[in-house]
Amino acid sequence: MNAPIRPGPDLSVIRDDVRAISAYHVPDATGLIKLDAMENPYGLPEPLTRELGQRLSQVALNRYPPADPAAFKAKLARAVGLPAGMTLMLGNGSDELIHLVIQACARPGAKVVSPWPSFVMYELAAKFDGCRFVGVPLGADFALDRDALLAAVEAQRPAVVFIAYPNNPTGNLFDRAAIEAVLAAAPGLVVIDEAYLPFARDTWLRQLGRWPNLLVLRTLSKLGMAGLRLGYLCGDGAWIGEFEKVRPPYNVNALTLAAVDFLLDHLDVFEQQAQAIRAERARLMAALRATPGVTAFDSDANFILFRVADAAATFAALRARGILIKNVAPMHASLGGCLRVTVGTPAENDAFVGALRATLQVSR
Ligand X SMILES: *Cc1c(COP(=O)(O)O)cnc(C)c1O
The residues of the shown chain that bind ligand X, judged by CB under 6 A, are: 38, 93-95, 119, 164, 168, 193, 195, 219, 221, 226, 231
Closer by beta carbon to ligand X, 216 or else 360: 216
* Helix, coil or strand: residue 211: coil
Q: Which is nearer to ligand X, 94 or 251 (CB)?
A: 94
Shortest Cβ 303–ligand X spacing (Å): 9
**Spatial separation of the C-alpha atoms in residues 222 and 224, rounded to whole Å:** 5
Nearest approach, Cβ of residue 260 and ligand X (Å) = 12
Shortest Å distance, C-beta 64 to ligand X: 22
Which residue is at the shortest CB distance from ligand X?
Answer: 93
Yes or no: say if 344 and 302 are a contact pair by the CB < 8 Å rule.
Answer: no
Q: Which is nearer to ligand X, 27 or 354 (CB)?
A: 27
SS3 264: helix
Sheet holding 111-116, edge to edge: 86-91, 231-236, 214-219, 189-193, 160-164, 111-116, 132-137
DSSP string, 68-99: S-HHHHHHHHHHHTPPTTEEEEEESHHHHHHH
Stated as kind and residue range, the H or E segment containing 54 is helix 46-57
Nearer to ligand X, 221 or 349 (CB): 221
Which residues are paired to 236 by β-bridges? 86
Minimum distance, C-beta of residue 310 to ligand X, in the bound complex (Å): 25
Q: Compare residues 208 and 223 and give the one whose CB is closer to ligand X.
A: 223
- Spell out where 201-355 has E strands: 214-219, 231-236, 295-296, 303-307, 323-324, 326-327, 338-342
Residue 205's region, left for phi above 0, alpha for psi from -120 to 50, else beta, is alpha
Least distance CB 13 / ligand X (angstroms)? 29
C-alpha 225/C-alpha 276 separation (Å) is 16
Nearest approach, Cβ of residue 115 and ligand X (Å): 11
Residue 47 has a CB neighbour count (10 Å cut-off) of 9
**From the CB of 253, what's the least distance to ligand X, in Å?**
14
Q: Which is nearer to ligand X, 93 or 198 (CB)?
A: 93
Of 97 and 284, which has the nearer Cβ to ligand X? 97
Cα(182)–Cα(46) distance, rounded to whole angstroms?
46
Q: Nearest distance from residue 47's CB to ligand X, in Å?
A: 27
Supply the minimum distance, in Å, between the C-beta of residue 321 and ligand X: 26
Of residues 36 and 145, the one with the C-beta less far from ligand X: 36
Rounded to an integer, what distance in angstroms lies between the CA atom of residue 210 and that of residue 86?
A: 12
Pick from 149, 144, 110, 150: which is nearest to 126 by CA?
110
Looking at beta carbons only, is 158 or 171 nearer to ligand X?
171
CB 101 within 8 A of CB 191: yes
Beta bridge partners of 219: 231
